[in-house]
Amino acid sequence: MSEPKDMETLLARVTERRRELLTSVVNRRTRHFCMVLEDLFDPHNISAVIRTAEVFGLQDVHIIEEDNAYSVNKSILKGSYKWMSLYLYKKRMLCMEKLREKGYKIAVASTNTTNSVLDLDLSQPMAFYLGSEFHGNHPDTLAHADYEFKLPQYGITESMNVSVAGGVLMTYLDVFMQKQGREKFALPQAERDALLLDWLDRHVNGIETNSPIVRVGE
């Protein structure tokens, strides 16, 4: 039977070192940027992007599975999803609607634009879409996006592997936040407290009763 989801009770169940680690990490989490995976089918790629987002401190990953069901490779994830907020959608336009309700601009990776990610106004909260391995983002997504962008590249090959592209993109986003002062993009205190409570609960009791996955619209 799991412990009550109470901060004081949970803190008593973890070491001081773990408490300090979780607190310092949650203080560096951000929702200013988020990643959106649209109908990726390779569990390796999905898992790699989620793991990389966790490393770079992006709390939310939104996953559209209108064509391809969500599937992950746990050996790639390395437990990183425990510290994430993962939102799954059966309908791509519902995902975009929910993101816009949260105040995000929609930026879609595309090989058919001359706009670099470096040209975007990153001071705005922005959701970055990565499309499926063979077809890219859906035409409806491209039609309703606020921005199309591509990553700077100088070779002959047209595009990168999607998980590599995600890692490169998040590096650019991290450099932007560092230059601006990453504390400007931190979560409000109430969100930090709620997230820390979730993390402590998952660490102590596991994810069976407190899943990081939220299915939206079901």
Helix 43-55, helix 162-180: angle, nearest 10: 10
- Which pair of structure tokens corresponds to residue 106? 């929609």
Tell whether residue 151 is among the known ligand binding residues. yes
- What does the pLDDT profile of the chain (218 residues) look like in tens digits? 445 578 888 988 999 999 999 999 999 999 999 999 999 989 999 999 999 999 999 999 999 999 888 888 888 888 898 999 999 999 999 999 999 999 999 999 988 888 999 999 999 999 999 988 777 888 999 999 999 999 998 898 877 899 999 999 999 999 999 999 999 999 999 999 999 999 999 999 989 889 999 999 87
Query: 83 to each of 166, 189, 190, 202, 218, how far by Cα in Å?
Result: 18, 17, 17, 8, 23
Residue 153 falls in which region: left (phi positive, over 0), alpha (psi -120 to 50) or beta: beta
Residue carrying structure tokens 């907020």: 85
Amino acid letter, residue 120: L
For residue 80, the 8-state DSSP code is: G
Enumerate the β-bridge partners of residue 215.
88
Question: CATH number of 31-185: 3.40.50.980, 3.40.50.300, 3.40.228.10, 3.40.1280.10?
Answer: 3.40.1280.10
- Which pair of structure tokens corresponds to residue 96? 């975009």
- Locate the domains of the chain by residue range: 1-29+186-211, 31-185
Enumerate the β-bridge partners of residue 132.
136
Q: Which of 102, 131, 114 is nearest to 41 (CA)?
A: 131
